[in-house]
Amino acid sequence: MGKIIWLASYPKSGNTWMRAFLHNLLRAPKEGYDINKITDFTVSDSSTAFFKRVLTKPWQEWTIQEVADRRWDVQEMITKLHSDNVFVKTHNALVEYMGRPIIHMEMTAGAIYVLRNPLDVVVSLSHHYGVNMDEAVRIINDPTNGSVSRAELVYEIHSNWSSHVASWTQQQHAGLLTLRYEDMLQKPMQTFSKVTKFLGLNAPKDRIQHAIEMSSFKKLRDQEDQKGFRERSDKTDKFFREGKSGQWRDILTKSQINKIIEVNKDQMERFGYWPLPK
Protein backbone atom coordinates (compact mmCIF):
# COMPACT_ATOMS: atom_id res chain seq x y z
CA MET A 1 0.00 0.00 0.00
CA GLY A 2 1.34 3.40 -1.00
CA LYS A 3 -0.12 6.85 -1.49
CA ILE A 4 -1.46 8.81 -4.43
CA ILE A 5 0.63 10.90 -6.81
CA TRP A 6 -1.94 13.11 -8.50
CA LEU A 7 -1.67 13.89 -12.21
CA ALA A 8 -3.83 16.98 -12.12
CA SER A 9 -4.94 19.48 -14.74
CA TYR A 10 -7.85 21.48 -16.02
CA PRO A 11 -9.49 19.51 -18.87
CA LYS A 12 -7.65 19.59 -22.23
CA SER A 13 -4.37 20.78 -20.75
CA GLY A 14 -2.00 17.84 -21.34
CA ASN A 15 -2.94 15.26 -18.71
CA THR A 16 -3.23 12.40 -21.20
CA TRP A 17 0.11 13.35 -22.74
CA MET A 18 1.74 13.18 -19.30
CA ARG A 19 0.17 9.80 -18.64
CA ALA A 20 1.43 8.47 -21.99
CA PHE A 21 4.95 9.71 -21.20
CA LEU A 22 4.96 7.98 -17.81
CA HIS A 23 3.82 4.67 -19.28
CA ASN A 24 6.47 4.84 -21.99
CA LEU A 25 9.10 5.79 -19.41
CA LEU A 26 8.23 3.04 -16.94
CA ARG A 27 7.79 0.26 -19.50
CA ALA A 28 10.12 1.52 -22.28
CA PRO A 29 8.42 -0.45 -25.09
CA LYS A 30 10.10 -0.44 -28.49
CA GLU A 31 6.92 0.97 -29.95
CA GLY A 32 4.61 3.44 -28.22
CA TYR A 33 2.64 2.17 -25.22
CA ASP A 34 -0.95 1.34 -26.17
CA ILE A 35 -3.00 4.48 -25.45
CA ASN A 36 -5.98 2.30 -24.58
CA LYS A 37 -3.98 0.73 -21.76
CA ILE A 38 -2.75 3.89 -20.03
CA THR A 39 -5.03 3.09 -17.13
CA ASP A 40 -2.51 0.35 -16.28
CA PHE A 41 -0.63 2.78 -14.05
CA THR A 42 -2.77 5.92 -14.11
CA VAL A 43 -6.30 5.33 -12.87
CA SER A 44 -8.95 8.04 -12.59
CA ASP A 45 -10.29 9.24 -9.27
CA SER A 46 -13.68 9.66 -10.96
CA SER A 47 -13.99 6.12 -12.32
CA THR A 48 -17.47 4.78 -11.66
CA ALA A 49 -16.00 1.30 -11.30
CA PHE A 50 -14.44 2.27 -7.96
CA PHE A 51 -17.61 3.88 -6.64
CA LYS A 52 -19.65 0.82 -7.53
CA ARG A 53 -17.71 -1.09 -4.87
CA VAL A 54 -18.96 1.23 -2.12
CA LEU A 55 -22.33 2.35 -3.48
CA THR A 56 -24.61 -0.61 -4.05
CA LYS A 57 -27.44 1.20 -5.86
CA PRO A 58 -27.38 1.61 -9.66
CA TRP A 59 -25.19 4.58 -10.57
CA GLN A 60 -28.19 6.47 -11.95
CA GLU A 61 -29.57 6.62 -8.39
CA TRP A 62 -26.44 7.99 -6.70
CA THR A 63 -26.91 11.43 -5.21
CA ILE A 64 -24.29 14.16 -5.36
CA GLN A 65 -23.90 13.92 -1.59
CA GLU A 66 -23.44 10.14 -1.65
CA VAL A 67 -20.61 10.47 -4.17
CA ALA A 68 -19.02 13.26 -2.12
CA ASP A 69 -19.22 11.13 1.04
CA ARG A 70 -17.54 8.16 -0.68
CA ARG A 71 -14.55 9.88 -2.29
CA TRP A 72 -12.46 9.12 0.81
CA ASP A 73 -13.31 5.40 0.55
CA VAL A 74 -12.49 5.36 -3.16
CA GLN A 75 -9.15 7.11 -2.71
CA GLU A 76 -8.23 4.75 0.12
CA MET A 77 -9.13 1.86 -2.19
CA ILE A 78 -6.88 3.29 -4.90
CA THR A 79 -3.90 3.45 -2.52
CA LYS A 80 -4.19 -0.32 -2.14
CA LEU A 81 -3.96 -1.08 -5.87
CA HIS A 82 -0.17 -1.37 -5.68
CA SER A 83 2.39 -1.84 -2.95
CA ASP A 84 3.99 1.43 -4.00
CA ASN A 85 2.56 4.87 -4.80
CA VAL A 86 -0.20 5.09 -7.41
CA PHE A 87 -0.55 7.64 -10.24
CA VAL A 88 -4.09 9.02 -10.31
CA LYS A 89 -5.46 11.28 -13.03
CA THR A 90 -7.81 14.04 -11.91
CA HIS A 91 -9.48 17.05 -13.46
CA ASN A 92 -11.01 18.03 -10.13
CA ALA A 93 -10.11 21.32 -8.53
CA LEU A 94 -8.45 21.05 -5.12
CA VAL A 95 -11.52 22.24 -3.23
CA GLU A 96 -14.20 21.14 -0.83
CA TYR A 97 -17.65 20.29 -2.15
CA MET A 98 -20.80 19.24 -0.30
CA GLY A 99 -18.85 19.66 2.93
CA ARG A 100 -16.15 17.17 1.87
CA PRO A 101 -12.69 17.50 0.32
CA ILE A 102 -12.55 16.36 -3.29
CA ILE A 103 -8.88 15.41 -2.83
CA HIS A 104 -7.88 13.81 0.47
CA MET A 105 -4.42 14.97 1.47
CA GLU A 106 -3.88 12.24 4.06
CA MET A 107 -3.67 9.77 1.17
CA THR A 108 -1.53 12.03 -1.02
CA ALA A 109 2.20 11.66 -1.65
CA GLY A 110 2.47 14.49 -4.15
CA ALA A 111 1.13 15.98 -7.37
CA ILE A 112 2.22 16.84 -10.90
CA TYR A 113 0.10 19.74 -12.13
CA VAL A 114 0.03 20.51 -15.87
CA LEU A 115 -1.36 23.83 -17.04
CA ARG A 116 -1.88 25.31 -20.48
CA ASN A 117 -2.64 28.77 -21.84
CA PRO A 118 -6.41 29.17 -21.34
CA LEU A 119 -6.69 30.79 -24.76
CA ASP A 120 -5.63 27.46 -26.28
CA VAL A 121 -7.54 25.40 -23.72
CA VAL A 122 -10.80 27.03 -24.79
CA VAL A 123 -10.23 26.03 -28.42
CA SER A 124 -9.68 22.39 -27.43
CA LEU A 125 -12.67 22.50 -25.08
CA SER A 126 -14.98 23.63 -27.87
CA HIS A 127 -14.08 20.55 -29.92
CA HIS A 128 -14.09 18.16 -26.94
CA TYR A 129 -17.51 19.28 -25.70
CA GLY A 130 -18.97 19.85 -29.16
CA VAL A 131 -19.92 23.47 -28.46
CA ASN A 132 -19.28 26.75 -30.24
CA MET A 133 -16.44 29.02 -29.15
CA ASP A 134 -18.66 31.45 -27.24
CA GLU A 135 -20.03 28.60 -25.14
CA ALA A 136 -16.51 27.27 -24.54
CA VAL A 137 -15.48 30.73 -23.31
CA ARG A 138 -18.46 30.74 -20.95
CA ILE A 139 -17.44 27.30 -19.62
CA ILE A 140 -13.80 28.16 -18.96
CA ASN A 141 -14.87 31.32 -17.12
CA ASP A 142 -17.64 29.66 -15.07
CA PRO A 143 -16.76 29.24 -11.36
CA THR A 144 -19.49 26.58 -11.07
CA ASN A 145 -18.26 24.54 -14.02
CA GLY A 146 -18.05 20.77 -13.66
CA SER A 147 -19.35 17.54 -15.13
CA VAL A 148 -22.31 15.33 -14.26
CA SER A 149 -22.14 11.65 -13.34
CA ARG A 150 -22.42 9.20 -16.21
CA ALA A 151 -21.85 5.51 -16.79
CA GLU A 152 -18.03 5.69 -16.77
CA LEU A 153 -17.26 8.67 -14.52
CA VAL A 154 -18.81 10.36 -11.50
CA TYR A 155 -19.26 14.12 -11.44
CA GLU A 156 -16.23 16.39 -11.25
CA ILE A 157 -15.73 19.94 -9.98
CA HIS A 158 -13.64 21.99 -12.42
CA SER A 159 -14.53 25.61 -11.55
CA ASN A 160 -13.05 28.17 -13.94
CA TRP A 161 -9.53 27.92 -15.31
CA SER A 162 -8.04 30.48 -12.95
CA SER A 163 -9.59 29.02 -9.79
CA HIS A 164 -8.54 25.51 -10.80
CA VAL A 165 -4.93 26.57 -11.34
CA ALA A 166 -4.83 28.52 -8.08
CA SER A 167 -6.38 25.68 -6.09
CA TRP A 168 -3.51 23.34 -6.98
CA THR A 169 -0.57 25.73 -7.22
CA GLN A 170 -1.08 28.60 -4.76
CA GLN A 171 0.94 26.83 -2.04
CA GLN A 172 4.32 25.78 -3.40
CA HIS A 173 5.91 22.82 -1.63
CA ALA A 174 8.31 19.95 -2.26
CA GLY A 175 5.49 17.55 -3.08
CA LEU A 176 4.23 19.63 -6.02
CA LEU A 177 5.68 19.86 -9.52
CA THR A 178 4.02 22.42 -11.81
CA LEU A 179 4.63 22.20 -15.56
CA ARG A 180 3.44 24.22 -18.53
CA TYR A 181 2.10 22.44 -21.62
CA GLU A 182 4.06 24.91 -23.77
CA ASP A 183 7.35 23.90 -22.14
CA MET A 184 6.52 20.23 -22.71
CA LEU A 185 6.24 21.13 -26.42
CA GLN A 186 9.18 23.50 -26.75
CA LYS A 187 11.67 22.09 -24.22
CA PRO A 188 10.72 18.42 -23.90
CA MET A 189 13.98 16.98 -22.56
CA GLN A 190 14.41 19.72 -19.97
CA THR A 191 10.76 19.59 -18.92
CA PHE A 192 10.24 15.83 -18.79
CA SER A 193 13.57 15.40 -17.01
CA LYS A 194 12.03 17.46 -14.20
CA VAL A 195 9.32 14.81 -13.95
CA THR A 196 11.79 11.94 -13.56
CA LYS A 197 13.79 13.90 -10.98
CA PHE A 198 10.63 14.79 -9.06
CA LEU A 199 9.64 11.12 -8.95
CA GLY A 200 13.10 10.09 -7.77
CA LEU A 201 13.76 8.06 -10.91
CA ASN A 202 17.36 7.77 -11.99
CA ALA A 203 16.45 7.43 -15.66
CA PRO A 204 19.24 7.81 -18.24
CA LYS A 205 18.80 10.47 -20.91
CA ASP A 206 18.31 7.97 -23.71
CA ARG A 207 15.41 6.36 -21.84
CA ILE A 208 13.79 9.75 -21.23
CA GLN A 209 14.29 10.67 -24.89
CA HIS A 210 12.74 7.38 -26.00
CA ALA A 211 9.71 7.98 -23.77
CA ILE A 212 9.35 11.51 -25.19
CA GLU A 213 9.45 10.19 -28.75
CA MET A 214 7.02 7.34 -28.06
CA SER A 215 4.53 9.73 -26.46
CA SER A 216 4.86 12.46 -29.09
CA PHE A 217 1.62 13.92 -30.40
CA LYS A 218 2.20 12.28 -33.78
CA LYS A 219 2.63 8.85 -32.18
CA LEU A 220 -0.51 9.31 -30.06
CA ARG A 221 -2.57 10.55 -33.00
CA ASP A 222 -1.34 7.70 -35.24
CA GLN A 223 -2.44 5.21 -32.59
CA GLU A 224 -5.87 6.82 -32.36
CA ASP A 225 -6.19 6.73 -36.17
CA GLN A 226 -5.35 3.03 -36.19
CA LYS A 227 -7.44 1.72 -33.29
CA GLY A 228 -9.37 4.58 -31.74
CA PHE A 229 -9.12 5.94 -28.20
CA ARG A 230 -11.63 4.91 -25.56
CA GLU A 231 -11.36 8.26 -23.75
CA ARG A 232 -12.44 10.24 -26.82
CA SER A 233 -15.54 12.34 -26.29
CA ASP A 234 -18.58 11.30 -28.33
CA LYS A 235 -18.88 14.98 -29.30
CA THR A 236 -15.76 14.91 -31.47
CA ASP A 237 -14.14 12.58 -33.98
CA LYS A 238 -10.60 13.07 -32.59
CA PHE A 239 -9.15 13.23 -29.08
CA PHE A 240 -5.64 14.05 -30.30
CA ARG A 241 -6.57 16.91 -32.61
CA GLU A 242 -3.75 19.46 -33.03
CA GLY A 243 -1.35 19.35 -30.07
CA LYS A 244 -0.08 22.85 -30.73
CA SER A 245 0.23 26.11 -28.84
CA GLY A 246 -0.85 29.52 -30.11
CA GLN A 247 -3.72 28.27 -32.28
CA TRP A 248 -6.02 30.73 -30.48
CA ARG A 249 -4.51 33.57 -32.55
CA ASP A 250 -6.20 32.34 -35.72
CA ILE A 251 -9.47 31.22 -34.10
CA LEU A 252 -10.61 33.47 -31.24
CA THR A 253 -12.16 36.87 -31.75
CA LYS A 254 -10.89 39.91 -29.88
CA SER A 255 -14.05 39.85 -27.77
CA GLN A 256 -13.55 36.19 -26.81
CA ILE A 257 -9.89 36.82 -25.93
CA ASN A 258 -10.81 39.79 -23.75
CA LYS A 259 -13.48 37.80 -21.89
CA ILE A 260 -10.98 35.08 -20.99
CA ILE A 261 -8.32 37.57 -19.92
CA GLU A 262 -10.80 39.54 -17.80
CA VAL A 263 -11.53 36.50 -15.61
CA ASN A 264 -8.13 34.79 -15.68
CA LYS A 265 -5.56 37.58 -15.99
CA ASP A 266 -3.91 37.14 -12.57
CA GLN A 267 -3.06 33.46 -13.06
CA MET A 268 -2.19 34.03 -16.72
CA GLU A 269 0.34 36.65 -15.66
CA ARG A 270 1.68 34.42 -12.92
CA PHE A 271 2.56 31.69 -15.42
CA GLY A 272 3.74 33.85 -18.32
CA TYR A 273 0.60 33.93 -20.46
CA TRP A 274 0.04 37.66 -19.91
CA PRO A 275 0.87 40.17 -21.31
CA LEU A 276 0.17 38.51 -24.62
CA PRO A 277 3.35 38.19 -26.71
CA LYS A 278 3.42 40.38 -29.81
The structural domain count of the chain equals 1
Q: Structural domain of residue 95, as residue ranges? A: 4-117+146-235
In a domain, 75, yes or no: yes
In a domain, 131, yes or no: no
In a domain, 202, yes or no: yes
The closest of 4, 8, 3, 10 to 18, measured between CA atoms, is 8
Report the pLDDT averaged over residues 144-151. 93
Cis peptide bond N-terminal to 58, omega within 30: no
pLDDT score for 216: 81
Q: How far apart are CA 112 and CA 45, in angstroms?
A: 15
Residue 177's CATH number: 3.40.50.300
The closest of 53, 98, 55 to 80, measured between CA atoms, is 53
The closest of 248, 181, 192 to 9, measured between CA atoms, is 181
**Predicted confidence (pLDDT) per residue in 154-190, tens digit:** 999 999 999 999 999 998 889 999 999 999 999 999 9
Lowest mean pLDDT across 125-134, 226-235, 255-264: 226-235
Query: pTM score, two decimals?
Result: 0.92
Band of pLDDT at residue 82, cut at 50, 70 and 90: confident
> Who contacts 64 (Cβ-Cβ below 8 Å, separation ≥6)?
98, 155
Q: Mean pLDDT across the chain, nearest whole number?
A: 90
Cα 187 vs. chain centroid, distance in angstroms?
Answer: 20
Instruction: Please report, in angstroms and rounded to a whole number, the separation of the first and last CA atoms in the chain.
Output: 50
In a domain, 152, yes or no: yes
In a domain, 167, yes or no: yes
**Predicted confidence (pLDDT) per residue in 9-60, tens digit:** 999 999 988 998 998 898 867 777 666 677 777 899 999 999 999 999 999 9
In a domain, 132, yes or no: no
